[in-house]
Amino acid sequence: MQKVWNLKKYDTELIRKIKDTYKVSDIMAKLLISRNIEFDDIGNFLNGTLEDLMDPYEIKDMDKLVERIDKAIKDKEKICIYGDYDVDGITSITIMYQFLTKLGAEVMYYLPDRLLEGYGINNNALDEIKKQGVSLVITVDCGITAVEEVKHAKEIGLDICITDHHECAQDLPDALAIVNPKRKDDTYSFKFLAGVGVAFKTISAVAKKYNLQEEEYLKYLDIVSIGTISDIVPLVGENRIISKYGLKMMVHTKNIGLKALIKLVNSKEIDSMMVSFGMAPRINACGRMGNASAAVKLLLENDEKRAEQIALELDKLNQERKNVETVIFEESLDMIKKNGLDKKNSIVLYNSSWHNGVIGIVASRLVNLYYKPVILLTKENGIIRGSGRCPSGFSIYDALTECKDYVIQFGGHELAAGLSILEENIDDFINAFENACRKKSDAISEQIIEIDAQVERKDLNSQIIKDIREMKPYGQSNQVPVFLYKGIKVSAIRTIKEEKHLKLVLKDDRSLIDAVGFSMGARRDEIRIGDKIDVVGTIELNSYNTPKTIQFVLQDFKKSVD
């Protein structure tokens, strides 16, 4: 699909006002406007501190949850933290378990097996938890759709309190407390916390109840930031503060397991990219390939040697995951080509032998390739389970809502969702999903590259690098800035890494600028030395050069039109 470049336009008066008020550069003013940061919120965005985090008791039912936790601690009841098997759920369990244990509570945790149990609460697990003497179950990063399961819990004498952040259906479970900012009757102003963010709010509320020092809950921010960044929630507002301070804490983390993981990843810089592409895949790997308890054990581990061993186990599982992913991806491409699915508004693929823990990643890769909603289905215990992903601007959750007659259950976010259906309903579901996507096809008819600003040679200096760094951490709703440079001459062309990547030297007057296009090696013959081209990409310091130089990381390029 041809990529469409959209160079954003700005109100020059608003740019001037931002520059004068907040003492920032022209580029920085444009970046702030581009991210829809309200004028009065700019100071908080750039300089927000932990003091700007809102009172956790503003979240509905937080008082009920804290009172029930307090009662359990005083009465020496056994508490079970029931979580999800992804990074968000794993980090949620970790901080809740550690915090409540330090308060003297008797706590266990439960992680469903992805392959045997699937996502969320299930009745068999609740029965087993009850047998172990638990009287209070607190969910983290799950539970908001578990109407029947919560009913079963009450029947067997289990109290359930739900903490979650996923979209809410019309009917909520009849739990003792439901702490989820996305509740329609919740007035909490920040709606985009990750599951671990809601768990963090919970322990901070309990800390206030017990008159504890802030350090007693803020010390978990390094773990909270991992779950927040990994769950692809908007990194604005409270999420930005949590991530920013959590990443700073990570440099000198006291968590033994986290130290081992950081050492294994061996990144040049501890930032959101390192978390997303270094830590998250390894933490996720055990949950994707089986049971996620190993990742929780890593983050709870106090012995350095044992932590290093567990980290290596996660690394091995991640490599296995990559191998399985490659096979499924190649099989998916064959199915799409054979059936002409790239011509449809959606892509839904089914293979009963696919690994359920990996299909979500493959779906994401296919979205990047075909730029349309993708759902991959596989079979587990007689039930068809699936993972769906979609491009920005489209809501896969809304599309699935229109297909609810053919779905046993589903849940998730705007850009990602999980579902289960009966095998006999697959064809009807595929048709219903295609119809739902056709209605909304205008939202994803073109693959658009959103460009923050056009730059010239004079802009490529230390100030732009400073601005780019000040906008960190990057993630959903605060992507790495994308720039346009027009009419620059090609001085040198070559491919690197077995012709996989494209390396250019670009010349503007007497200045030379390096540019690299990852996975663009096949486009080498589109341009020749001496051509004038327009390039779109991100800007970074090339640390391999001495002295360090600025380079473009290409997203696209085309010949200039005079």
Q: Which CATH architecture has domain 450-562?
A: Beta Barrel (2.40)
Task: State yes or no: pLDDT of 442 exceeds 80.
Answer: no
Task: State yes or no: pLDDT of 337 exceeds 70.
Answer: yes
What proportion of the chain, given as a percentage, has pLDDT over 90? 82
Per-residue pLDDT of 23-43, as tens digits, reads 999 999 999 999 999 999 999
Query: Which structure tokens are listed for 341?
Result: 């699915």
Q: What is the pLDDT of residue 546?
A: 59
Task: State yes or no: pLDDT of 1 exceeds 70.
Answer: no
Query: Which structure tokens are listed for 211?
Result: 């008159």
Per-residue pLDDT of 6-16, as tens digits, reads 999 999 999 99
- Reference 30, options 490, 451, 488; nearest CA is 451
Q: What is the pLDDT of residue 239?
A: 97
Q: What is the pLDDT of residue 443?
A: 66
3-state secondary structure of 349: strand
Lowest mean pLDDT of 198-202, 237-241, 292-296, name the range. Answer: 292-296
Q: What mean pLDDT, rounded, does the chain reach?
A: 93
3-state secondary structure of 550: strand
CB 555 within 8 A of CB 538: yes
For the segment 399-406, the average pLDDT, to the nearest whole number, is 93
More confident residue, 381 or 17: 17
For the segment 423-427, the average pLDDT, to the nearest whole number, is 94
Q: What is the pLDDT of residue 234?
A: 93
Query: Which structure tokens are listed for 103?
Result: 């308060």
Task: State yes or no: pLDDT of 543 exceeds 80.
Answer: no
| ∠ CA 549-550-551, rounded to 5° | 115
For the segment 404-416, the average pLDDT, to the nearest whole number, is 87
Q: 52-243 has which CATH code?
A: 3.90.1640.30
φ, ψ dihedrals at 333, nearest 5°: -60, -40
Per-residue pLDDT of 451-490, as tens digits, reads 999 999 899 999 999 999 999 999 989 999 999 999 999 9
- Top CATH class of 340-447 equals alpha beta
How is the chain split into domains, by residue range?
Answer: 12-45, 52-243, 340-447, 450-562
Q: What is the pLDDT of residue 246?
A: 97
Query: Which structure tokens are listed for 556?
Result: 């696209």
Question: What amino acid is encoded at 33 in this protein?
Answer: I
For the segment 178-201, the average pLDDT, to the nearest whole number, is 96
CB 539 within 8 A of CB 465: yes
Task: State yes or no: pLDDT of 447 exceeds 70.
Answer: yes
- The 10 Å Cβ neighbour count of residue 106 is 15
pTM over 0.75: yes
Per-residue pLDDT of 480-527, as tens digits, reads 999 999 999 999 999 998 889 999 999 988 788 999 999 899 999 999
Q: What is the pLDDT of residue 334?
A: 96
CB 140 within 8 A of CB 82: yes
What proportion of the chain, given as a percentage, has pLDDT over 70? 98
Q: DSSP per residue over 113-171, as a string?
A: -TTTT-SS--HHHHHHHHHTTEEEEEEES--TT-HHHHHHHHHTT-EEEEE--SPP-SS
Per-residue pLDDT of 237-251, as tens digits, reads 999 999 999 999 999
Q: What is the pLDDT of residue 3?
A: 83
Q: What is the pLDDT of residue 445?
A: 59
Task: State yes or no: pLDDT of 545 exceeds 70.
Answer: no
Q: What is the pLDDT of residue 493?
A: 96
Reported as a pLDDT band with limits 50, 70 and 90, residue 561 is confident
Q: What is the pLDDT of residue 329?
A: 96
Rounded to whole angstroms, what are the CA distances from 53 to 22, 34, 158, 193, 209? 21, 24, 33, 12, 17
Query: Which structure tokens are listed for 23?
Result: 């003492």
Per-residue pLDDT of 84-142, as tens digits, reads 889 999 999 999 999 999 999 999 999 988 767 777 899 999 999 999 999 999 999 99
- Reference 475, options 259, 240, 162; nearest CA is 240
Q: What is the pLDDT of residue 2?
A: 66
